[in-house]
C-alpha cells in the first residue's frame, strides 16, 4: 500500500517535472515567436518576391496583370553590362570612402577636443551636438537648400565676406562635384554627433593612471594616443566605422532631395538613387530587383565584420 502510494506520488511528481521542463524550455521560444513570425512575413515574403522579380520582366503592365514574364538572368546581365551601373558603383565607393573618413577623422578630433575643454564649454558643445543629432534628415535638407541657394543663401554671403572669393550668385548645384560635396557636408554634419558622443563615452574608459604613468615616463601626447587610447577605443572605432560604411553606401534621402529630382542625372547617381530611378521611377521592377540584389550582396559583404563583432559581444554576455 505504502509503496504503491509512493510510486504514484513519485510518478506524478516526475510527470509534473517533465511537463515543467518542457514548459520552461518552451518559454523563450514562445516569447520570441511573434517577432520571428512578423519579421518572417513582412520581410521574408518581400525578399522571396525580390528574388522572383529579378528573374522576370515586370513593369506597370505586369503589375496590373499580377504576373511577370520569366526572362532568366536577363535583368542581371542587362545591369552588369550597363556602364552606368559600374560608374555609379565606383562613384558610390569613392563617395563612401570620403564620407566615412571625414566622419571618423573629424569625429575622433572632436571627441578629443571634448575632453580638453572646460566643463561649461563641454556642456554647451555636447548639447549642440545632441540638437544636431535630433534634426530630421528631411528638415536638414531643407535648411541646406535655403543656406546654399544661389540668390540669397547665407553661405554665399559669408564666403564672400570672408574674402574667400566672389560667391555672389554662385550656384552650388551646377556641377556634380559641387552637388556631391554639399551632400557630403550634410551627411558628415548629421553623422558627427553620434560618432563624437560614442567616442567620448569610450574615451572615459581610458584609465587615467595609465596615461599619467606614460606622461611621467616622458611619452609625448601623440604616443600616448597611439599606444594607449587607440587600442582601448579599437572595438568602438571598428563598429562605428562599419556602421558608417553601411549607412553611407546605401544613403538615399540626402542626395535625392538635396540635388533634387529635376537635377538627378546618370552623371550624379549614387547607388540608392540609381536603384530608385531605374527600378521605381521608370517602373522597371524586374531590373530594379536585380540592382537591389546586387546592392544587398555588396552591403552583406561589408557588414560581415559588424555582425561578427556583434555576435561575439552577444556571446560574451
Partner 1 sequence: MTPRRRGRRARQAGWNAVGLAVFAVMAFPVFWMISTSFKSNDQIISLNPTWFPLHPTLQHFRDAIHRPFFWDDVKNSLIVVSVTVAISIVLAFLAAVALSRYRFAGRKLCIVRVSGIQMLPQAGLIIPLYVVLARYHQVNALTGVIVTYMTFVLPFSVWTLRGFLIGIPKELEEAAMVDGSTRLGVFLKILLPLMGPGLVATSVFAFITTWNEYIFARVLLNDQAKQTVTVWLSGFVGGSRHTDWGALMAASTLTAIPVVIFFLLVQRRIAFGLTMGAVRG
254: closest CA among 142, 123, 127, 116?
A: 142
Could you tell me if 103 and 195 are in contact, meaning their C-beta atoms sit under 8 angstroms apart? yes
φ, ψ (nearest 5 deg) of residue 70: -65, 130
C-alpha torsion sign, points 51, 56, 61, 65: negative
- Separation between Cα atoms, residue 205 and residue 213, nearest integer Å: 16
Q: How far is the CB of 58 from partner 1 (least distance, A)?
A: 7
57 bridge partner residues: 69
- C-beta of 1 vs 165, nearer to partner 1: 165
Q: How far is the CB of 233 from partner 1 (least distance, A)?
A: 10
- C-beta of 94 vs 121, nearer to partner 1: 121
Q: How far is the CB of 8 from partner 1 (least distance, A)?
A: 26
- C-beta of 180 vs 272, nearer to partner 1: 272
- C-beta of 185 vs 210, nearer to partner 1: 185
Q: How far is the CB of 279 from partner 1 (least distance, A)?
A: 5
- Residue 228 grid coordinates: 594607449
Q: How far is the CB of 178 from partner 1 (least distance, A)?
A: 18
Q: How far is the CB of 75 from partner 1 (least distance, A)?
A: 11
- C-beta of 224 vs 275, nearer to partner 1: 275
Max CA distance (Å), the chain: 108
DSSP states along 29-53? HHHHHHHHHHHIIIIIHHHHHHHHH
- C-beta of 180 vs 277, nearer to partner 1: 277
56 bridge partner residues: 70
Could you tell me if 199 and 239 are in contact, meaning their C-beta atoms sit under 8 angstroms apart? no
Amino acid at each position: 500500500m505504502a509503496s504503491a502510494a509512493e510510486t504514484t506520488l513519485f510518478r506524478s511528481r516526475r510527470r509534473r517535472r517533465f511537463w515543467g521542463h518542457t514548459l520552461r524550455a518552451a518559454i523563450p521560444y514562445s516569447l520570441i515567436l511573434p517577432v520571428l513570425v512578423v519579421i518572417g512575413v513582412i520581410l521574408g515574403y518581400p525578399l522571396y518576391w525580390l528574388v522572383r522579380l529579378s528573374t522576370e520582366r515586370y513593369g506597370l503592365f505586369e503589375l496590373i496583370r499580377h504576373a511577370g514574364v520569366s526572362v532568366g538572368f536577363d535583368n542581371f546581365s542587362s545591369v552588369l553590362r550597363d556602364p552606368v551601373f559600374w560608374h555609379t558603383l565606383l562613384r558610390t565607393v569613392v563617395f563612401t570612402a570620403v564620407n566615412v573618413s571625414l566622419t571618423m577623422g573629424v569625429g575622433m578630433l572632436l571627441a578629443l577636443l571634448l575632453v580638453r575643454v572646460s566643463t561649461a564649454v563641454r556642456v554647451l558643445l555636447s548639447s549642440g551636438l545632441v540638437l544636431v543629432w535630433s534634426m530630421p534628415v528631411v528638415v536638414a535638407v531643407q535648411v541646406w537648400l535655403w543656406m546654399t541657394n544661389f540668390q540669397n543663401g547665407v553661405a554665399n554671403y559669408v564666403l564672400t565676406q570672408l574674402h574667400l572669393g566672389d560667391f555672389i550668385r554662385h550656384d552650388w548645384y551646377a556641377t556634380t562635384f559641387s552637388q556631391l560635396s554639399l551632400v557630403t557636408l550634410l551627411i558628415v554634419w548629421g553623422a558627427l554627433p553620434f560618432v563624437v558622443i560614442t567616442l567620448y563615452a569610450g574615451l572615459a574608459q581610458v584609465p587615467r593612471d595609465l596615461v599619467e604613468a606614460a606622461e611621467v615616463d616622458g611619452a609625448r601626447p601623440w604616443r600616448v594616443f597611439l599606444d594607449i587610447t587607440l587600442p582601448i577605443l579599437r572595438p568602438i572605432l571598428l563598429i562605428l566605422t562599419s556602421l558608417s560604411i553601411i549607412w553611407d553606401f546605401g544613403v538615399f534621402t540626402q542626395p535625392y532631395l538635396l540635388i533634387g529630382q529635376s537635377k538627378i542625372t546618370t552623371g550624379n547617381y549614387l547607388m540608392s538613387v540609381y536603384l530608385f530611378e531605374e527600378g521605381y521611377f521608370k517602373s522597371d521592377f524586374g531590373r530594379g530587383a536585380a540592382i537591389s540584389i546586387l546592392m544587398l550582396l555588396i552591403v552583406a559583404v561589408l557588414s560581415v565584420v559588424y555582425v561578427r563583432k556583434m555576435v561575439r559581444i552577444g556571446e560574451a554576455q
